[in-house]
């Protein structure tokens, strides 16, 4: 029997089992591994990656997913702390938190993964052995699910294979192993994370949508496959019916969500609006005016951070048509080529017919049957739709102690929210383990001394799917690169950051005895470290690589001018080749890490993060600018699900104060900050006397919250009858008698949000309106409640409360920006006038109470100061800007800084708690190390040239250089920040900044103009 994954599963229980190797599971596993904790990651598929690997691109960056995901995947294939078990399912779980025993069943792969080189010969000759293909075509070009598959191996479907001996013979590596029997085993673990993902609603049963009958009606996932470069059409957008390019495409939202169709889920699937917008934008980007796009929707739910801007971009820049309507039917018109959609809109009384070439159904997410079964087997309490239930303020804890849930298994959500929850689950699951002993660094080969070698440069060009390869001819670029001086080998590398390509590059370096490497690919900001690792594994010093950013700086920005993009890509590569010739081996510097944590902000988020980290033994300082803990959480009384907030917040405050590892500093105003991750120093003025003190810490967490928005509108602050939802929440708790007497209540949504001054959605207002409407209803069942809204954005399970409110007779009336409601004072009441779009008439309600859904706004005063002191970027509306919207949603771009809660963007308490836990996990990935790597980008002084002029001493922003006893400038590499100011001003040219030496910069300039001269 062959052990497929060739991993000996250790029998200790001090590890976390992660079920599901989608994006969420990978994030959880990586967070735990980086925090030096052991993980078993199981996935029933042949390779990890989950649903995301089937998407073409993801919003809002419109990156190709493979590129953003693959660095994570290859990492997860590599990390020492992770045991990856693919084709493996969980058949049973016994035991309790701290000591679970889990039965695993691994299906046979029939390929020895140690031998398989993924050459593809087996597939070429026996394509019928394909077991799984995503998307449309069951005969996809490869049986690997996508080019960056981890683990890197094929799998064989023995049942479909007619001539096994021939198959065995065809494999040059001798990897085919028909005797493979799979295996069962038991593993022990301390805690479990369920991140099994979601399945998609199957629209086959809905005749009127024509999915079963019409090939040109596809689901959104199928559309992704059609658009994907690795999909069945190799990225050609064609109609399945006739292979021609469509001219007009419609999207239909809420298929299988919001309880609309037979068998549909009652909840909102949360991500489909953005997915449809993304698909429409990407389609428009590719085909411009050659294609028309229209989205038929009920409510456009772009509630995430900056998503409203994305919606505006779709509408205004790309001309995506948005039609608020639920089409009645999709039929193929008689003898017609197109599909006829019949629908009505608010303003038109009669049915409209419009023909489209393709229709995309935005199918919602649901829990797969096997996941539901597994959850029940594990003893989890599930809601009616099969999602694992959690308490309001314990967002990732299932009903069973020691088992946590994240991603779609908890509720439908998009990638950023999944990533946040995955980190939160890592934090909570990791808490149940004992601290494990650290493994030494992997066994790297010794570094080859290249100082006396003649230059041998290798150039590897990524096509990055369509991103580069779609604009220019990668093979030609490689050919061109081959002609450059000192270049020994130049070749296209597909997705250079894929595991396979990285291994090939590594091999090529060794085989061709390369001593310098140039990657033509994406940004060194994101990928330099990856390629440095690759060349280090090939025995080269990691600083002998240059990256030419031919994606971000050429193909992405000059996509419409392929010739110029090609020319520029060649220029950039030539510059990199010239520069890498000047690169020298460098040594990195390490210093011990300070493991204390500074949390700025003592609200629910700050306290939650602090407690999670304090639990793990870290000392935490909470700097709170007001004179008490609790933040906005102290003001709020009830959540949508009816849970009281106050007891929770008070309990949190008590726990925080009682924790010996937490020091709370009240009335703390941060005034200065210096240092680097692992050794920060922050100065603050504290207490009533404003004493100055400094704190030394290793990481900084911003949990500074947001403020309740109060725009001067609709008589807010002028009439007693007008208040915000937050004030209404307080009245409901403190003065129910008053509320009882409200016979007419009007609520206006999006006050101060989704307007030109503040274009973003405030996310929380729709649910708080529903929450207050239901509570008012309870107190006064006969009163009338009008909610004036633009789009009701009750995402996820909130939708069920929205349905409940409708059922209870709350009246929802839509208004638009060009027809705002009008409010006039009328004694103790206010007259609210609005237009009913269906009646097409103006109505007036004399309201006892007008509740304005004003949402949250960034706390401009404090975030501006903090952004300046900490050097952090903010969004245009003043929230802190995370490092990567999708993959690093709580990491800030400055290393060692994290953000959580409403300082990141508006969100509910539950969501803030999730982020707080996520941040605790992310912080641990840094704190778990003993030393930090300062890199090698520091300056060096040539004492022979130094004139001891003092210019470096004076110019250094960090006071590092000094004139030593020998009379020369000395700059401590452990303290140098690597800015290079001294190097730029040294009049004797005695100082060079490593990696940015003058020779290297001048080489780039020389090479840039080589073309013109030569």
- Name which of residues 128 to 187 contact other proteins (CB under 8 A): none
Cα–Cα dist 239/181, whole Å: 42
893 binds other proteins (CB under 8 A): yes
Helix, strand, coil shares, percent, the chain, to 5: 30, 25, 45
Segment 928 to 947, residues that bind other proteins, using CB under 8 A: 937, 945, 947
Give the CA diameter of the chain: 94
124 binds other proteins (CB under 8 A): no
Cα–Cα dist 550/734, whole Å: 61
Return the range that interacts with other proteins (CB under 8 A); candidates 329-337, 811-819, 900-908, 983-991: 983-991
Question: In this chain, which of 571, 729, 791, 891 binds other proteins, going by CB under 8 A?
Answer: 571
Question: In this chain, which of 8, 138, 262, 560 binds other proteins, going by CB under 8 A?
Answer: 560
588 binds other proteins (CB under 8 A): no
Residue that has been written with the tokens 């470290």 in this structure: 529
Return the range that interacts with other proteins (CB under 8 A); candidates 354-362, 505-513, 824-832, 990-998: 990-998
Question: In this chain, which of 479, 638, 988, 999 binds other proteins, going by CB under 8 A?
Answer: 988
Nearer to other proteins, 257 or 549 (CB): 549
Q: What string of DSSP letters covers 966-982?
A: TSSEE--TTT-----HH
Nearer to other proteins, 824 or 999 (CB): 999
Cα–Cα dist 706/733, whole Å: 23
998 binds other proteins (CB under 8 A): yes
Nearer to other proteins, 188 or 551 (CB): 551
580 binds other proteins (CB under 8 A): no
1009 binds other proteins (CB under 8 A): yes
Nearer to other proteins, 455 or 1008 (CB): 1008
485 binds other proteins (CB under 8 A): no
Q: Are 467 and 557 in contact (CB under 8 A)?
A: no
Binding mask 850-889 for other proteins (x = CB under 8 A): ------------------x--x-xxxx----x--------
Segment 424 to 463, residues that bind other proteins, using CB under 8 A: none
Residues 6+ apart with CB under 8 A from 108: 4, 87, 158, 180, 181, 182
Whether residue 943 is preceded by a cis peptide bond, meaning omega within 30 degrees of 0, is no
Question: In this chain, which of 166, 557, 690, 839 binds other proteins, going by CB under 8 A?
Answer: 557
Question: In this chain, which of 91, 336, 523, 694 binds other proteins, going by CB under 8 A?
Answer: 523
Strands 679-686 and 691-697: antiparallel
Shortest Cβ 555–other proteins spacing (Å): 9
Tokens of 84: 């990856």
Q: Are 499 and 77 in contact (CB under 8 A)?
A: yes
Nearer to other proteins, 127 or 675 (CB): 675
Tokens of 110: 């029939």
Q: Are 893 and 675 in contact (CB under 8 A)?
A: no
Shortest Cβ 496–other proteins spacing (Å): 17
Question: In this chain, which of 87, 217, 900, 986 binds other proteins, going by CB under 8 A?
Answer: 986
Shortest Cβ 564–other proteins spacing (Å): 4
756 binds other proteins (CB under 8 A): no
Q: Are 460 and 493 in contact (CB under 8 A)?
A: yes
Evaluate the CA torsion angle 525, 530, 536, 538 in order and state its sign: negative
Core vs surface per residue 507-516: b (16+ CB within 10 A) or e: ebbeeeebbb
Question: In this chain, which of 424, 664, 679, 993 binds other proteins, going by CB under 8 A?
Answer: 993
Tokens of 996: 């940015």
Q: List Cα–Cα distances, 17 to 403, 426, 536, in angstroms.
A: 9, 10, 31
Tokens of 946: 């130094």
Shortest Cβ 575–other proteins spacing (Å): 7
Question: In this chain, which of 587, 693, 778, 954 binds other proteins, going by CB under 8 A?
Answer: 954
Shortest Cβ 312–other proteins spacing (Å): 13
Shortest Cβ 1013–other proteins spacing (Å): 5
Q: Are 72 and 47 in contact (CB under 8 A)?
A: no
Cα–Cα dist 118/673, whole Å: 51
Nearer to other proteins, 17 or 960 (CB): 960
996 binds other proteins (CB under 8 A): yes
Nearer to other proteins, 216 or 882 (CB): 882
Q: List Cα–Cα distances, 249 to 293, 320, 527, 636, in angstroms.
A: 5, 10, 36, 45
DSSP state, 497? T
Return the range that interacts with other proteins (CB under 8 A); candidates 215-223, 320-328, 550-558, 911-919: 550-558
Return the range that interacts with other proteins (CB under 8 A); candidates 8-16, 439-447, 795-803, 954-962: 954-962
Return the range that interacts with other proteins (CB under 8 A); candidates 132-140, 395-403, 736-744, 991-999: 991-999
565 binds other proteins (CB under 8 A): yes
The four Cα atoms 244, 245, 249, 253 give a dihedral, to 10 degrees, of 80
The footprint of other proteins on this chain (CB under 8 A) covers a number of residues equal to 71
Cα–Cα dist 61/884, whole Å: 9
Nearer to other proteins, 550 or 599 (CB): 550
Nearest by Cα to 963 from 978, 982, 977, 937:
982
Question: In this chain, which of 553, 650, 780, 846 binds other proteins, going by CB under 8 A?
Answer: 553
Shortest Cβ 759–other proteins spacing (Å): 14
Nearer to other proteins, 444 or 1005 (CB): 1005
Question: In this chain, which of 94, 139, 657, 989 binds other proteins, going by CB under 8 A?
Answer: 989
Shortest Cβ 281–other proteins spacing (Å): 9
Shortest Cβ 495–other proteins spacing (Å): 17
Question: In this chain, which of 524, 606, 889, 901 binds other proteins, going by CB under 8 A?
Answer: 524
Nearer to other proteins, 575 or 632 (CB): 575
Nearer to other proteins, 471 or 716 (CB): 471
Binding mask 48-87 for other proteins (x = CB under 8 A): -------------xxx------------------------
Tokens of 646: 């106050």
Binding mask 895-934 for other proteins (x = CB under 8 A): ----------------------------------------
Segment 606 to 625, residues that bind other proteins, using CB under 8 A: none
Nearer to other proteins, 75 or 306 (CB): 306
Q: Are 520 and 572 in contact (CB under 8 A)?
A: yes
Question: In this chain, which of 86, 398, 501, 549 binds other proteins, going by CB under 8 A?
Answer: 549
Cα–Cα dist 928/595, whole Å: 8
Residue that has been written with the tokens 């280090």 in this structure: 536
Tokens of 460: 């590897």
Q: Is 468 exposed, middle or buried (0-12, 13-18, 19+ CB in 10 A)?
A: buried
Q: Is 371 exposed, middle or buried (0-12, 13-18, 19+ CB in 10 A)?
A: buried
Question: In this chain, which of 205, 592, 642, 957 binds other proteins, going by CB under 8 A?
Answer: 957
Question: In this chain, which of 111, 575, 577, 695 binds other proteins, going by CB under 8 A?
Answer: 575
Strands 669-676 and 679-686: antiparallel
Give the orientation angle of helix 524-537 with respect to helix 65-78, to 10 degrees. 40
Evaluate the CA torsion angle 28, 30, 36, 40 in order and state its sign: positive
Q: List Cα–Cα distances, 354 to 292, 357, 764, 964, in angstroms.
A: 12, 10, 36, 81
Detail the DSSP E strand segments found in 307-377: 321-324, 329-332, 339-343, 352-356, 358-363, 365-366
Segment 277 to 306, residues that bind other proteins, using CB under 8 A: 285
């Amino acid at each position: 029997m062959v052990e497929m994954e060739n991993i000996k599963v250790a029998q200790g229980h001090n590890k976390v089992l992660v079920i599901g190797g989608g994006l969420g599971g990978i994030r959880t596993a990586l967070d735990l591994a980086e925090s030096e904790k052991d993980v078993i990651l199981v996935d029933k598929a042949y390779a990890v990656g989950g649903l995301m690997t089937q998407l073409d691109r993801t919003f809002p960056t419109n990156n190709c997913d493979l590129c953003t995901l693959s660095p994570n995947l290859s990492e997860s294939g590599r990390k020492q702390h992770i045991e990856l078990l693919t084709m493996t399912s969980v058949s049973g779980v016994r035991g309790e938190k701290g000591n679970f025993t889990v039965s695993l069943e691994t299906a046979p792969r029939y390929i020895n993964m140690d031998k398989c080189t993924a050459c593809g010969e087996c597939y070429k000759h026996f394509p019928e052995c394909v077991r799984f293909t995503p998307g449309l075509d069951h005969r996809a070009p490869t049986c690997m699910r996508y080019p960056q598959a981890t683990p890197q191996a094929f799998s064989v479907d023995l049942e479909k294979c007619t001539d096994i001996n021939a198959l065995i013979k065809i494999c040059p590596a001798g990897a085919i192993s028909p005797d493979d029997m799979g295996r069962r085993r038991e593993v022990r673990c301390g805690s479990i994370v369920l991140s099994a993902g979601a399945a998609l609603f199957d629209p086959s049963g809905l005749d009127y949508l024509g999915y079963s009958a019409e090939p040109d009606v596809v689901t959104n996932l199928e559309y992704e496959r059609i658009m994907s470069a690795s999909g069945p059409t190799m990225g050609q957008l064609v109609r399945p019916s006739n292979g021609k390019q469509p001219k007009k495409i419609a999207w239909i939202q809420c298929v299988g969500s919001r309880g609309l169709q037979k068998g549909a889920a009652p909840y909102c699937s949360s991500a489909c609006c953005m997915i449809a917008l993304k698909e429409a934008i990407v389609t428009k980007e590719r085909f411009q005016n050659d294609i028309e796009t229209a989205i038929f929707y009920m409510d456009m739910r772009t509630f995430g951070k900056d998503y409203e801007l994305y919606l505006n971009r779709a509408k205004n820049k790309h001309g995506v048509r948005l039609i608020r309507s639920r089409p009645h039917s999709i039929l193929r018109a008689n003898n017609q080529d197109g599909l006829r959609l019949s629908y009505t809109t608010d303003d038109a009384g009669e049915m409209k017919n419009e023909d489209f070439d393709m229709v995309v159904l935005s199918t919602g997410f649901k829990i797969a049957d096997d996941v539901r079964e597994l959850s029940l087997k594990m003893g989890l309490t599930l809601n009616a739709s099969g999602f694992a239930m959690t308490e309001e303020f314990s967002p990732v804890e299932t009903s069973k102690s020691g088992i946590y849930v994240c991603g779609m298994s908890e509720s439908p959500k998009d990638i950023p929210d999944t990533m946040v929850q995955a980190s939160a689950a890592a934090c909570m699951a990791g808490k149940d383990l004992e601290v494990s002993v650290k493994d030494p660094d992997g066994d790297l080969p010794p570094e080859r001394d290249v100082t006396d070698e003649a230059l041998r440069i290798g150039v590897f060009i990524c096509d990055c799917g369509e991103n580069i390869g779609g604009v220019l001819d990668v093979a030609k670029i490689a050919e061109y690169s081959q002609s450059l001086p000192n270049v020994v080998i130049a070749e296209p590398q597909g997705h250079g950051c894929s595991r396979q390509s990285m291994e090939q590059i590594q091999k090529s370096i060794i085989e061709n005895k390369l001593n310098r490497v140039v990657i033509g690919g994406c940004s060194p900001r994101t990928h330099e470290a990856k390629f440095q690792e690759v060349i280090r594994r090939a025995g080269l010093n990691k600083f002998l690589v240059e990256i030419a950013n031919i994606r971000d700086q050429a193909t992405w920005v000059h996509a419409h001018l392929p010739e110029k993009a090609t020319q520029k890509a060649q220029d950039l590569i030539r510059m990199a080749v010239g520069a890498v010739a000047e690169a020298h081996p460098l040594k990195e510097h390490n210093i011990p890490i300070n493991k204390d944590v500074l949390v700025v902000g003592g609200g629910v988020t700050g306290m939650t993060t602090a407690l999670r980290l304090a639990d793990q033994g870290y000392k935490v300082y909470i700097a709170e600018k007001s004179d008490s803990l609790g933040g906005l959480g102290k003001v709020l009384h009830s959540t949508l699900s009816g849970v009281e907030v106050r007891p929770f917040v008070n309990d949190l405050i008590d726990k925080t104060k009682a924790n010996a590892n937490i020091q709370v500093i009240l009335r703390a105003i941060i005034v200065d900050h210096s240092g680097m991750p692992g050794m920060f120093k922050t100065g603050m003025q504290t207490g009533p006397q404003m004493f100055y003190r400094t704190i030394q810490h290793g990481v900084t967490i911003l949990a500074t919250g947001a403020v309740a928005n109060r725009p001067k509108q609709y008589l807010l602050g002028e009439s007693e009858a007008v208040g915000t939802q937050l004030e209404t929440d307080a009245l409901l708790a403190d003065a129910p008698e008053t509320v009882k007497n409200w016979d007419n209540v009007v609520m206006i949504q999006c006050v101060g949000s989704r307007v030109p001054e503040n274009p973003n959605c405030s996310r929380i207002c729709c649910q708080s309106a529903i929450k207050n409407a239901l509570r008012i209803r309870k107190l006064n069942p006969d009163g009338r409640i009008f909610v004036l809204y633009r789009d009701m954005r009750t995402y996820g399970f909130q939708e069920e409360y929205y349905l409940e409110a409708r059922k209870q007779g709350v009246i929802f009336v839509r208004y638009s920006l060009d027809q705002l409601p009008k409010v006039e004072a009328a004694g103790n009441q206010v007259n609210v006038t609005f237009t009913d779009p269906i009646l097409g008439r103006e109505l007036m309600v004399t309201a006892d109470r007008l509740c304005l859904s004003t949402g949250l706004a960034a706390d401009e005063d404090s975030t501006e100061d903090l952004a300046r002191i900490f050097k952090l970027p903010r969004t245009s509306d003043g929230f802190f800007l995370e490092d990567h919207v999708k993959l690093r949603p709580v990491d800030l771009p400055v290393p060692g800084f994290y953000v959580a809660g409403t300082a990141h963007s508006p969100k509910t308490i539950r969501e803030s708690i999730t982020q707080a836990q996520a941040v605790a996990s992310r912080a641990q990935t840094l704190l778990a190390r003993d030393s930090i790597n300062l890199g090698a980008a520091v300056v060096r002084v040539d004492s022979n040239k130094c004139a001891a002029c003092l210019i470096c001493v004076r110019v250094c922003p960090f006071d590092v250089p000094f004139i030593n006893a020998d009379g020369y400038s000395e700059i401590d590499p452990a303290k140098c920040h690597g800015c290079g100011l001294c190097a730029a001003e040294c009049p004797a040219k005695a100082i060079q900044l490593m990696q940015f030496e003058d020779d290297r910069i001048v080489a780039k300039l020389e090479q840039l103009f080589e073309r013109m001269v030569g």
